[in-house]
Each structure stands twice: as C-alpha cells, then as structure tokens.
Amino acid sequence: MGSGGGEALVSVALDVQIAVLGLAALAVAGAAGPSLRAQQRDTVPDKLAVTEPVYQGWKYYQVYCARCHGENATGGFTAPDLLFAITAEGGVTPDSFRVVVHRGTESKEMKGFDPLLDDELIDRIYAYVRERSAGRLAPGRPHRAPPPR
C-alpha cells in the first residue's frame, strides 16, 4: 500500500471527527434552550383554554342553547346573538339572563328551562357566553386549562 492510501485514511478520519463535532454542537445547542416553536407556544395565549366553570358552561350551552343561538353563541335563524346581547349595548345583565333562561321570553319564542337549569348552571352558561363576548375565548370547542404552576 502506497502513501496515498494513508492520506485517504487520515482524510476520512478527519471528516468523521468533524461530523461528530458538528453533531455534538447541535446537541448542545438543542439542550441549551427550547426551540423557537416551543417559545412561541409558551408566549401565545391558548384562546380555547378555560376554567372548569366556563368549560361546564360551554357543555350546558351546547345541550340547551346551541340549537337556537348557534354553536358559538352568535345567533341563529330563530334566536339572537348572545355575544352582543350581554354587552352594555345589548342590555342583558347577568340577572336578566338568569330570569329569561328560567322563565323564557314574554313572547314565548323561547321556553324557560326551569327546573332543568338551576342558578349555578345558568351562571356557568353566562360565564361561557361572557368569555366568548369579551374575545377571551375563541370560537370552537374549549378545553380545560392546565392548573397554574
């Protein structure tokens, strides 16, 4: 074997060392901190994460209200937009909301849900609608927020 073979072996060994060093540098960089995607995930608010009462309100809303008021409380063919109704301009207060859900409307377009829904459940439905109306909760299916750290 001539001297050219030895140089080739040295060159291959050097290439392997460079590759190993490069992989080690990548591993250290990855261990040094979270990826950009993880950083973004931690800083962008999850607009579907809700507290337990709001989650329960969403569930009961889907059972009793969504058929007429729409899946996201934005109204339907037969019922008004609740996101607007509970604003200052809409004029529906938590108390009047509770009364209408219990008794229904005077025009009988909406039936009352007494005794199916008690005050606590109605308050949870209102909390869900309030979160949607304020823009803190995105349209769609919410999920329970993880407990605070």
Burial class (CB in 10 A: 0-12, 13-18, 19+), 120: exposed
Residue found by looking up tokens 């927020």 in the block: 145
Which CATH number fits the domain 49-144, given the four candidates 3.40.50.920, 2.40.270.10, 1.10.760.10, 3.90.1300.10?
1.10.760.10
Domain extent listing, the chain:
3-43, 49-144
pLDDT one-digit tens code per residue, 47-99: 999 999 999 999 999 999 999 999 999 998 889 999 999 999 999 999 999 99
pLDDT one-digit tens code per residue, 19-50: 666 666 655 555 556 666 665 556 678 999 99
Q: Which one-letter DSSP state was computed for residue 144?
A: E
Return the half-sphere exposure (C-beta side, CA atoms, 13 A cut-off) of residue 28: 6
Task: Name the residue with higher pLDDT: 96 or 148.
Answer: 96
Mean pLDDT of 3-27: 62
**Angle formed by the axes of helices 119-133 and 52-64, nearest 10°:** 100
Question: Taking 60 as the threshold, does the pLDDT of residue 121 lie above it?
Answer: yes
pTM of the model: 0.70
